[in-house]
Chain A
């Protein structure tokens, strides 16, 4: 008993001391990691002249299961930044990588690092999940960020002042792809399947709601499983005209293969998570004729010289053509470059400048409303033809080939 009392009193002393210690330690507020007051000294002393540079961060998955999308964005941004740096500007850009592996928990601890590295702008966070956890930090640090791929509709409802995205959200994509399925594709009965992920289920829910009673069966597959036969047989007995799948390319490839092996001939439609060459590599012949929607625009051969130049530069630098979100990465970087060209080098000034920007990006016109959403987002359809993804254009006018 005496021992217990002694332990308790020691603990009380410890607790009291700890408060005391923190009271002393906290008095110098500036020792907090990365509490650099936004916009004061954050830009590295731009004394004019050709010697200064600022840091722009890229935040997203460069490793992990969905790394390809992050790499696409980063390479698209690099094309823009390298061209800008080569033009010998007053303020050069250094692109710093922050690899989240697509994990929201890692993004939380990385975001303060972005702030302490005196980054003036962030391209990213790439995915919706990590945006939720990392953007509040960037918001607190006052660092403008432009996501090239996060499409979750609820992100813009958080009242964030420093957050933007260069593509329309799932609330636009869902009705758009539903309109395409029931319009140009002319489907009367649509099976709607998702992969239970935040993105996949969210998108599939919106599609199912837009289509209404014609959306049946409504089902989910387990992305960790390899055998979707129960869902396939459900679809086969319902005999729909089209199937919409909300999810990512790896499972979509397996799923479409099993559908075709199971004798289902309905048209296969999916969203931007599936818009990747890897879907075709995985699905092989089964992927042929699939329709893929995206609020992004896949840069494919174009008569617009700016777009064509982007494709050429990208191909020259990386040996492959631009892929999903590459063009958006380029546009996000361009938005920051325009701010720097206007002489804005502090995060706060850059953010103010972003809200006034209005330019023709290579993917779409870039102009933000006060929430950070594009004022002119639309949905664009793509089709898999002869083992390649081709762009069909806006969903209202897209013609299946």
Chain B
């Protein structure tokens, strides 16, 4: 996949030999999915994998956080950015709300983890609606600024609220109850968390995929392409934008809930702006709007810095350089969404119509492709 591809090759020039995935019989497709699922579950215990993937750190632990939870968050943000084209820079706020909900309910009210997780998801969704209702009338850069502010508001509020522990955060968050002897949740037993995350990811993919192929997904695509045209054609844009926002928020909330229980102690500093930026980078880098791409992007964003631990102070530099290189050679992402690539070639900067057209840059790439 490392072939140098300029931004204006014709479509289909990349993988001519493979038949389109949509045309493969359903049985074969589901068998492949099942195989993937089993492989994913097997990942932490593949013999010898730890030394290859994470020689400097605990592979099971790294799989859960950052890798697993970054994937969860990236899938959620993909609904917001990839499908509906809403640039959200405060996404970590919903992750924080999920984490804090579980923290508060389990430590202050003695709830068990699972019901707390559900409430965490619901509260994150509510926060998504709360933020979305007044702000989703904005577009592009303006929406980005508002969401950025929201992300900071949540963190600073948590930092200044004594009831939430202030800067000390919440500690001694209980782990989920063990399921028999096979699923033990413990500090050294990261595997059970990984299984929970894999199941969560499967659920999220199912939901996102069904939505994408439905009327809702088409409405999102229309909004992404041209909001005014969509509105004129009778798509109730605000309603669908809100839907994208609160589905994305709920997904982040579920990730945050697992995070809180895994860490057993959370502080406001766990939820900095840079995390929002990283997740957005994961989505764009992997291929906005394309689920396998987003998963790959999140994996790289999470795994590269861990893998290069031995370079100590240089690792962030390598990481940044790798991101820059990938974006230069694959501006539409590593595994782009076909529709998105077409958009790129039409020259809307690859973010759909975020209301912020990348004017001169886009014009360079315009090619009438008939």
Contact = CB atoms under 8 A, between A and B. Distances in A.
Q: Are chains A and B native binding partners rather than an unrelated pairing?
A: yes
Interface centre among B41, B56, B167 (most CB of A within 10 A): B167
B170 to A, nearest CB: 10
Interface stretch (B83-91, B185-193, B326-334, B358-366): B185-193
A13 B182 CA distance: 19
A113 B265 contact: no
Interface string A108-135: 1111110110000000000001001100
Given A108-B61, A109-B57, A112-B187, A26 B182 contact: yes
A197 interface: yes
A141 B61 CA distance: 14
Given A109-B64, A115-B188, A198-B168, A22 B183 contact: yes
A109 B305 CA distance: 13
Nearest to B167: A198
Contacts of B60: 32-33, 112
Nearest to A107: B263
A113 B313 contact: no
Interface in B5-43: 26, 30, 33-34, 37-38, 41-42
Contacts of A6: 26
Given A25-B45, A99-B309, A202-B168, A110 B57 contact: yes
B44 interface: yes
Interface string A1-37: 0001011001101110110011101110101111100
B42 A140 contact: no
Per DSSP, are chain A's interface residues mostly helix, strand or loop, or mixed? helix
A33 B44 CA distance: 8
A104 interface: yes
Contact of B202 (A11, A105, A115, A202): A11
Nearest to A130: B265
A15 B199 CA distance: 8
B162 to A, nearest CB: 10
B186 A140 contact: yes
A99 B314 CA distance: 14
Interface centre among A21, A23, A29, A108 (most CB of B within 10 A): A108
Interface in A209-242: none
Interface string B183-217: 11011111100010011001100100010000000
A104 B61 contact: no
Nearest to A11: B206
Contacts of B166: 196, 198, 201
Contact of A105 (B45, B65, B313): B65
Contacts of B231: none
A62 interface: yes
Given A32-B188, A32-B189, A109 B41 contact: no
Contact of A63 (B33, B50, B184, B312): B312
Nearest to B265: A132
B188 A63 contact: no
A300 interface: no
Given A21-B41, A25-B42, A105-B263, A33 B206 contact: no
Contacts of A198: 166-169, 267
A136 interface: yes
A29 B309 CA distance: 29
A2 B167 CA distance: 51
A113 B51 CA distance: 11
A270 interface: no
Nearest to A194: B167
A200 B195 CA distance: 38
B59 interface: yes
A116 B58 contact: yes
Contacts of A115: 58, 188
Interface string A148-166: 0000101000100000000
Contacts of B30: 10
A251 to B, nearest CB: 14
A18 B167 contact: no
Nearest to B60: A33
Given A14-B37, A112-B61, A33 B50 contact: yes
Nearest to A13: B34
B135 interface: no
Interface in A148-200: 152, 154, 158, 196-198, 200
B239 to A, nearest CB: 22
B171 interface: yes
A137 interface: yes
A108 B65 CA distance: 9
Contacts of A35: 188-189
B181 to A, nearest CB: 7
Nearest to A108: B263
B159 interface: yes
A136 B264 CA distance: 9
A1 B144 CA distance: 37
Interface centre among A113, A115, A116, A201 (most CB of B within 10 A): A113
A201 B161 CA distance: 13
Contact of A7 (B45, B189, B195, B206): B206
Contacts of B270: 104-105
A110 B58 contact: yes
A29 B202 CA distance: 25
A110 B61 CA distance: 7
B157 interface: no
Contact of B188 (A25, A132, A141, A158): A141
28 contacts: A4-B210, A17-B34, A17-B37, A17-B38, A18-B199, A21-B38, A23-B182, A26-B183, A32-B191, A33-B44, A33-B61, A104-B267, A104-B269, A105-B65, A105-B66, A109-B58, A109-B66, A110-B57, A110-B61, A112-B190, A113-B56, A132-B171, A132-B265, A139-B187, A152-B168, A158-B172, A201-B166, A201-B168
In the A-B complex, list the 6 residue pairs whose CB atoms are closest, starting with the nearest.
A109-B61, A137-B187, A26-B182, A112-B58, A113-B58, A132-B265
Given A112-B61, A132-B171, 9 more contacts: A23-B182, A33-B191, A108-B61, A108-B65, A110-B57, A112-B60, A113-B56, A139-B187, A152-B168
